[in-house]
A and B are shown apart, each in its own frame.
Chain A
């Protein structure tokens, strides 16, 4: 026990003395959390609309006023030729071009229907879909009003309707921050824990100080514990601090049991840190360790469901996620914080992460050799 305490003291001293690292570990993540959470939103607020009105009738003007009145659209320019609209799309000055054809009103009255053209920049498929949905719903709305206004005479036939109501549970205002804060927090804790641990042993190897440790009577398990615990404490602290910021600053709901969350986090961090240590013992230079860590971290994070939903991934990719600790933690975090899931709901995830932790720790301990 005393030996472990000495190793711990050494590790903490080393961290404390590295002046450049302290702000990077303790301040940069939170600045990022506070600023970048606002960036993660799919909500469309300023759709840039280019209007080509070839009709110039009262109906077309009324239709356009529906768009200028909507908070979602900014009408950036008006013109009369398709060419100018295309040009605006190309030079990224507009997201959508609305073309109202000539004789729009006349045709509508005489032939009972008329087309308007929507040209949407669809490089970003997801926003193009949303823009299309918003625009169509405005058109439909206007259309319904128009029909009501014009067809006072034939309102005898009433069609049956299916009335669909919908509600959003757990986040009725669709506040994206509630979703992103827990996720980004997981990401920051993960990056810090994994990089710190993966560079640690290999750094001692590169500098040569590992020899000095190897010749001491320190046991393998004592060494591993001594290396794991400091980073574990740092990461747990960051998690707690980040959650406090999330609660106070962003008002994210904490519906579930925080103790349960920290129980899960403590095991999760063991997995992350021992993966880091394993990488560290397998490599000879910090450079190698860094790139390997970076590779796994990128894959873990991008596939974890943090930015894009896990369900949208193909089957095989979801299978890969079985070995992705970040995916487990993000899922648990969101379930417990936002939905108030209890231990029964996450027991499966918890069992997996525990198994994972046991495997990784034994692997890291086994791989660490006291000879060079």
Chain B
């Protein structure tokens, strides 16, 4: 035991003496959470639209006014002819063109029908979809205000309640995701690199000839990082609460507990990577190239897993981040207790055990 403690102490010295890495480990996640928390969202805001008004009457001006003043859109430019549409899209500044047909107001009042055409730049399909739907809603609204006097019979009115996130803030989606991806990458990278480093520098040999058992070496490597990552996790959760107004409706104790579990899972994945990689560069590539995209894309961080094709949904089961995101959303936003999330916790725990067992088997106590 004393030997083991000595080893852990050595690891701590390693980390604390390299002050640059220390700054990186504690400072950078904080900066990233700040930047991402404010900057990353999918809300529609100030999309530039171009207006091609062939009618230029009272009504078209009112509609344009409504659209531009909605906060979702901004008037990019006024076009004069259909020929300009292509050009303004190509310049990349305009997301939508709104075309009013000639004699708009006259048609509306006389024939009871007036035409608007919307053209969206669908090279970003999701955004185009949003933009068109928002524009339609604004035009519909305008129309409703015109025909208030008509009473529509037999009306089914939906009463919508947004549960858990009534103001539809996208922060609620992104803060848990950012916590997850930061913990995952930092933990996996740190451990895999620190073990690969010993191999590359040749100091692994010294550890191997020492009376420490493989399990002790691995545990000693991981323990300091569990503590470091735990501090990181707490910082990020508190920042989510104080800076971004993420509520923690569930129990803090449970939240911290599951964070530790996830940290251990991520660290054991890091150990596993280090048994495969012989030098730091390989370790870095596996943990970065191999984990970055799957953690972002298959975890439900940005894209909902339910929308994916079935094979990918199945593949997402092996992504630890997916389970952790479910768990922290349940605790922070829904206020659920262990009874609701024990399955996810079991999966995370199982993954950690799996990685540790494999790494122990693959851990070579001899040099080639």
Cβ of B113 under 8 Å from chain A: yes
In the bound complex, do residue A160 and residue B113 qualify as a contact, i.e. CB atoms below 8 Å apart? yes
Chain A residues numbered 58-107 whose CB sits less than 8 Å from any CB in chain B: 63, 89-92, 95
In the bound complex, do residue B39 and residue A313 qualify as a contact, i.e. CB atoms below 8 Å apart? yes
In the bound complex, do residue A147 and residue B304 qualify as a contact, i.e. CB atoms below 8 Å apart? no
Cβ of A308 under 8 Å from chain B: yes
In the bound complex, do residue B24 and residue A122 qualify as a contact, i.e. CB atoms below 8 Å apart? no
In the bound complex, do residue B163 and residue A89 qualify as a contact, i.e. CB atoms below 8 Å apart? yes
Task: Select the residue from B46, B123, B326 with max chain A CB neighbours within 10 A.
Answer: B123
Total A residues in contact with B, Cβ cutoff 8 Å: 125
- The answer to whether residues A287 and B194 also contact, given A136-B158, A294-B189, A312-B44 and a CB cut-off of 8 A, is yes
In the bound complex, do residue A338 and residue B282 qualify as a contact, i.e. CB atoms below 8 Å apart? no
Q: Which residue of B lies closest to A21 (CB)?
A: B282
In the bound complex, do residue B285 and residue A25 qualify as a contact, i.e. CB atoms below 8 Å apart? yes
Specify which chain A residues have a CB less than 8 angstroms from the CB of B286 in the assembled complex. Answer: 24
Cβ of B32 under 8 Å from chain A: yes
| Proximity string of chain B (112-127) to chain A, C-beta cutoff 8 Å, 1 when within and 0 when not | 1111111111111111
In the bound complex, do residue A311 and residue B282 qualify as a contact, i.e. CB atoms below 8 Å apart? no
Q: Which residue of B lies closest to A86 (CB)?
A: B163
Residue from the list A43, A128, A307 in contact with B165, Cβ < 8 A: A128
Residue from the list B116, B298, B303, B340 in contact with A91, Cβ < 8 A: B340
- Distance (Å) between the CB of B319 and the closest chain A CB? 10
In the bound complex, do residue B113 and residue A163 qualify as a contact, i.e. CB atoms below 8 Å apart? yes
Size range of the interface on B? 35 or more
- The answer to whether residues A40 and B297 also contact, given A123-B333, A164-B136, A178-B125 and a CB cut-off of 8 A, is yes
**Whole-angstrom distance between the alpha carbons of A341 and B312 in the complex?**
34
Chain B residues numbered 1-29 whose CB sits less than 8 Å from any CB in chain A: 18, 20-21, 24-25, 28
Kindly specify which of A212-220, A243-251, A295-303, A363-371 makes contact with the partner chain.
A295-303
| Proximity string of chain B (325-360) to chain A, C-beta cutoff 8 Å, 1 when within and 0 when not | 010011001101000100000000000000000000
In the bound complex, do residue A36 and residue B297 qualify as a contact, i.e. CB atoms below 8 Å apart? yes
**Whole-angstrom distance between the alpha carbons of A239 and B14 in the complex?**
39
In the bound complex, do residue B114 and residue A168 qualify as a contact, i.e. CB atoms below 8 Å apart? no
In the bound complex, do residue A287 and residue B21 qualify as a contact, i.e. CB atoms below 8 Å apart? yes
Residue from the list B90, B108, B158, B333 in contact with A115, Cβ < 8 A: B158
Cβ of B70 under 8 Å from chain A: no
Cβ of A334 under 8 Å from chain B: yes
Q: Which residue of B lies closest to A144 (CB)?
A: B152
In the bound complex, do residue B172 and residue A123 qualify as a contact, i.e. CB atoms below 8 Å apart? yes
Specify which chain A residues have a CB less than 8 angstroms from the CB of B279 in the assembled complex. Answer: 18
- The answer to whether residues A143 and B284 also contact, given A29-B289, A184-B293 and a CB cut-off of 8 A, is no
- Distance (Å) between the CB of A304 and the closest chain B CB? 11
- Distance (Å) between the CB of A307 and the closest chain B CB? 5
Task: Select the residue from B92, B142, B170 with max chain A CB neighbours within 10 A.
Answer: B92
In the bound complex, do residue B39 and residue A303 qualify as a contact, i.e. CB atoms below 8 Å apart? yes
In the bound complex, do residue B294 and residue A90 qualify as a contact, i.e. CB atoms below 8 Å apart? no
**Whole-angstrom distance between the alpha carbons of A20 and B285 in the complex?**
10
Cβ of A13 under 8 Å from chain B: no
In the bound complex, do residue A286 and residue B154 qualify as a contact, i.e. CB atoms below 8 Å apart? no
**Whole-angstrom distance between the alpha carbons of A17 and B298 in the complex?**
33
**Whole-angstrom distance between the alpha carbons of A299 and B172 in the complex?**
20
Chain A residues numbered 302-323 whose CB sits less than 8 Å from any CB in chain B: 302-303, 307-309, 311-314, 317, 320
| Proximity string of chain A (124-150) to chain B, C-beta cutoff 8 Å, 1 when within and 0 when not | 111111001101100100110011001
- Distance (Å) between the CB of A41 and the closest chain B CB? 5
In the bound complex, do residue A302 and residue B293 qualify as a contact, i.e. CB atoms below 8 Å apart? no
28 intermolecular pairs with C-beta atoms under 8 Å apart: A24-B289, A32-B293, A39-B308, A42-B304, A89-B163, A90-B336, A113-B155, A114-B155, A115-B156, A115-B157, A125-B168, A129-B168, A161-B113, A163-B115, A166-B117, A166-B135, A167-B118, A169-B120, A171-B122, A192-B289, A206-B200, A288-B20, A298-B185, A299-B35, A307-B40, A312-B45, A331-B92, A334-B124
